[in-house]
């Protein structure tokens, strides 16, 4: 047996670094509710179904305790956390959450053994489960939320030539304080994904014989309901609706509430890092909030600007990881057209990028785990709940009076800079124009509900320009990154690696040239009739509102 050891953990207590056995599988199982579990077990004992074999296996007594943080961060990350005591051994399991489709749930199941005779909390586990829990929980403590006991009868299901899956007949007891315990029974048929068609006919017979019905909830959900607990909803921030009757400050707060809700909803996924789109969405939400604070600055109290600076600090940490995600995602494109030796060089580049991403993620997680971040979340939540102060006179200006100039100012800047850009302009000019396009697009999206289709249609035109400029910027960033990596890691990459990186950089240069050729085609429509019609609409609404003294 390997020597066991304990090491310091920055997440509370010590992390166990002894011998760990772990698995990471896709669990595919039918889940059924049943009234007569004993009757189903008896039917399985005597079942004679042509083409199938059923063999009774062990009977087990399972003692499970589920854990989460006070803010349900593990649940928010998409997992349930369970420690199962099976007598002489115990294991820690994380299961992803998934809705049942035709009574089948397909879930990731990540499991690691826990050391016998040693009390190890989930947050201290030394394997992949413990690592994911620490990342998801951050600074929050991980504590039990409920326990349950399951009497399980197990049957092996075969199709005559090979084992197809396993049938579990469970009777589960959930202690409920001073009240009588809650009991429910389930039948679960677990199979490999490829074996679902082979098992389906037997399962249909089992449903009929045992009067089974699809389980509407998982064991976790059923026990949560039994113990009177619930996952708290997202924080109530106030109305996120934008409409013509609002003041400028009310519109700004509605926009900030909508984006802050998106920001918070993606924090858990960003922490875990399994879906890069969660980080992307969190970063975009932070950008939109900063853009809204900037656009509506004259109509918002000065205290919000200090919160905008905090958002910039958070967005910077998110941006480092997101930029590396974009480059790593393009590695397969880089491999196209290269031979095996050049492919090895790209492997080295990929290794460097992933190493930098790990460093960036550690920095990002330290930001998300910091008291400074917690303070920002608390203050910003409270600010949005309070809403705009009626005593701040500037904020009471009607949105119909404010929006036209808010949009026009950004449009004028975009056109002034866009008219100066041509094929020979430096990358910095294209990048600056991209930022101007982004500001105009955000402004149009902010007031889109006020002006409807004309605003959203023109926003689409700006998005077309932004897409071309964004790809051009991505190419410029990639070229600069490849040059920097070549200089910093020349020895590791070797001559072949440097030549390969040069070839990839040349591809990006050619792509940038193609995008410059597309620029006039997406820029020119911005100066056409769509813009003039939008201006006429905005000015007309402003004038009419002023004449009648109320929005129209």
The three-state DSSP-derived secondary structure of 377-432 is: HHHHHHHHHHCCCCCCHHHHCEHHHHHHHHHHHHHHHHHHHHCCCCCCCCHHHHHH
Q: Is residue 116 part of a domain?
A: yes
Q: For the chain, what is the mean pLDDT? A: 90
Q: What is the mean pLDDT of residues 163-171?
A: 96
Whether 389 and 403 map to the same domain: the answer is: no
Confidence of residue 14 (pLDDT cuts 50, 70, 90): very low
- Looking at the DSSP assignment, which residues form a beta bridge with residue 189? 30, 167
Whether 202 and 272 map to the same domain: the answer is: no
- Looking at the DSSP assignment, which residues form a beta bridge with residue 169? 153, 187
Q: Is residue 366 part of a domain?
A: yes
pLDDT at 276 over 60: yes
Instruction: State how far the alpha carbon of 41 is from the alpha carbons of 22, 63, 185, 369, 488, in Å.
Output: 31, 21, 12, 49, 66
pLDDT recorded at residue 391: 82
pLDDT recorded at residue 102: 84
Residue of 125, 134, 189 lying closest to 163 (CA atoms): 189
- 397, 426, 453 - which closes a domain: 397
Residue of 536, 533, 515 lying closest to 525 (CA atoms): 533
pLDDT recorded at residue 362: 96
State the pairing for strand pair 179-191/90-96. unpaired
pLDDT recorded at residue 3: 29
Instruction: State how far the alpha carbon of 492 is from the alpha carbons of 52, 296, 347, 478, in Å.
Output: 58, 50, 11, 19
Confidence of residue 118 (pLDDT cuts 50, 70, 90): low
Whether 138 and 98 map to the same domain: the answer is: yes
Q: What is the mean pLDDT of residues 64-87?
A: 93
pLDDT recorded at residue 183: 96
Q: What is the pLDDT of residues 100-117, one digit of tens each?
A: 888 899 999 999 998 876
Write down the pTM of the prediction.
Answer: 0.88
CB 183 within 8 Å of CB 170: no
Identify which has the larger pLDDT, 544 or 30.
Answer: 30
Instruction: Report how far Cα 343 is from the mean position of its chain's Cα atoms.
Output: 31
Identify which has the larger pLDDT, 487 or 545.
Answer: 487
Whether 192 and 258 map to the same domain: the answer is: no
- 341, 365, 397 - which closes a domain: 397
The per-residue DSSP string of 95-147 comes to: EE----BTTEEEEEEEEEEE-TTS---GGG--SHHHHHHHHHHTTS--EEEEE
pLDDT recorded at residue 365: 97
Whether 57 and 197 map to the same domain: the answer is: yes
Instruction: State how far the alpha carbon of 217 is from the alpha carbons of 67, 168, 214, 312, in Å.
Output: 18, 17, 9, 41
Report residue 249 as tokens.
């400050």
CB 103 within 8 Å of CB 34: no
Whether 196 and 253 map to the same domain: the answer is: no
Q: What is the mean pLDDT of residues 522-528?
A: 95
Report residue 91 as tokens.
């294991």
Q: What is the mean pLDDT of residues 279-285?
A: 97
Q: Is residue 483 part of a domain?
A: yes
Residue of 74, 90, 55 lying closest to 143 (CA atoms): 74
What CATH number should be reported for the domain holding residue 60?
Answer: 2.40.320.10
Helix (H) or strand (E) run with residue 89 in it: none
pLDDT at 13 over 50: no
Whether 359 and 458 map to the same domain: the answer is: no
- 165, 195, 226 - which closes a domain: 226
Whether 391 and 427 map to the same domain: the answer is: no
- Dihedral angle sign, alpha carbons of residues 90, 91, 92, 97: negative
Q: 371: domain range? A: 246-397
What CATH number should be reported for the domain holding residue 354?
Answer: 1.40.20.10
pLDDT at 15 over 80: no
Q: Is residue 62 part of a domain?
A: yes
Whether 454 and 539 map to the same domain: the answer is: yes
pLDDT at 67 over 90: yes
Q: Is residue 13 part of a domain?
A: no
State the pairing for strand pair 22-33/104-114. antiparallel
Distance CA 215, CA 199 (A): 18
Q: Is residue 190 part of a domain?
A: yes
Q: What is the pLDDT of residues 425-461, one digit of tens each?
A: 999 999 999 999 999 999 999 999 999 999 999 999 9
Q: Is residue 235 part of a domain?
A: no
Helix (H) or strand (E) run with residue 247 in it: none
Q: Is residue 38 part of a domain?
A: yes
The domain total for the chain is 3
pLDDT at 479 over 70: yes
Whether 320 and 355 map to the same domain: the answer is: yes
Distance CA 95, CA 75 (A): 10
Q: What is the pLDDT of residues 355-406, one digit of tens each?
A: 999 999 999 999 999 999 999 999 999 999 999 988 888 889 999 999 999 9
Whether 422 and 362 map to the same domain: the answer is: no
Whether 278 and 186 map to the same domain: the answer is: no
């Amino acid at each position: 047996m390997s020597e066991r050891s304990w090491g310091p953990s920055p997440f509370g207590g010590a992390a166990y670094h002894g011998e760990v056995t772990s698995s990471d599988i896709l669990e595919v199982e039918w889940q059924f509710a049943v009234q007569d579990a004993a009757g189903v077990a008896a039917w399985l004992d005597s079942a004679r179904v042509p083409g199938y074999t059923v063999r009774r296996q062990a009977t087990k007594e399972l003692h499970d305790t589920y854990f989460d943080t006070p803010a349900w961060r593990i649940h928010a990350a998409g997992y349930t956390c369970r420690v199962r005591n099976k007598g002489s051994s115990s294991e820690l399991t994380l299961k992803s959450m998934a809705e049942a489709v035709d009574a089948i749930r397909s879930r990731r199941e990540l499991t690691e053994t826990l050391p016998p005779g040693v009390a190890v909390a989930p947050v201290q586990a030394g394997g992949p489960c413990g690592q994911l829990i620490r990342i998801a929980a951050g600074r929050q403590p991980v504590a039990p939320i409920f326990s349950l006991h399951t009497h399980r009868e197990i049957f092996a299901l075969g199709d005559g030539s090979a084992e197809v899956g396993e049938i579990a007949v469970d009777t589960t007891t959930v202690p409920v304080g001073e009240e009588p315990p809650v009991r429910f029974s389930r039948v679960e048929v677990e199979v490999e994904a490829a074996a679902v068609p082979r098992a389906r006919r037997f399962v249909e017979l089992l449903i009929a014989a045992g009067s089974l019905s699809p389980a509407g909830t998982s064991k976790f959900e059923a026990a949560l309901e039994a113990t009177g607990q619930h996952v708290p909803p997202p924080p109530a921030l106030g109305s996120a609706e934008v409409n013509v009757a609002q003041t400028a400050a009310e519109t700004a707060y509605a926009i900030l509430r909508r984006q802050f809700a998106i920001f918070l909803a993606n924090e858990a996924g960003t922490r875990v890092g399994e879906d890069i789109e969660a980080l992307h969405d969190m970063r975009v939400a932070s950008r939109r909030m900063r853009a809204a604070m900037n656009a509506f600055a004259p109509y918002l109290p000065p205290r919000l600007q200090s919160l905008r600076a905090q958002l910039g600090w958070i967005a910077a940490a998110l941006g480092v990881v997101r930029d590396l995600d974009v480059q790593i995602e393009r590695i397969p494109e880089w491999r196209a057209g290269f031979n095996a030796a050049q492919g090895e060089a790209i492997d080295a580049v990929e290794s460097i990028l992933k190493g930098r991403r790990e460093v960036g993620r550690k920095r990002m997680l330290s930001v998300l785990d910091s008291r400074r971040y917690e303070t920002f979340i608390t203050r910003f939540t409270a600010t949005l709940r309070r809403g705009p102060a009626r005593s701040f006179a500037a904020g009471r200006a009607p949105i119909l009076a404010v929006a036209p100039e808010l949009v026009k100012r950004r449009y004028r800047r975009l056109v002034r800079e866009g008219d100066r850009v041509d094929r020979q302009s430096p990358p910095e000019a294209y990048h600056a124009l991209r930022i101007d396009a982004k500001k105009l697009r955000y402004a149009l999206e902010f007031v889109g509900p006020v002006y409807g289709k004309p605003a959203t249609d023109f926003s689409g035109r700006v998005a077309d320009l932004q897409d071309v400029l964004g790809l051009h910027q991505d190419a410029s960033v990639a070229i600069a990154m490849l040059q920097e990596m070549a200089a910093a890691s020349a020895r590791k990459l070797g001559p072949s690696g440097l030549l390969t990186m040069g070839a990839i950089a040349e591809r990006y240069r050619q792509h940038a040239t193609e995008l410059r050729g597309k620029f006039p085609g997406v820029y020119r429509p911005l100066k056409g009739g769509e813009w003039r019609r939008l201006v006429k609409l905005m000015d007309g609404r402003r004038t009419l509102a002023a004449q009648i003294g109320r929005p129209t």
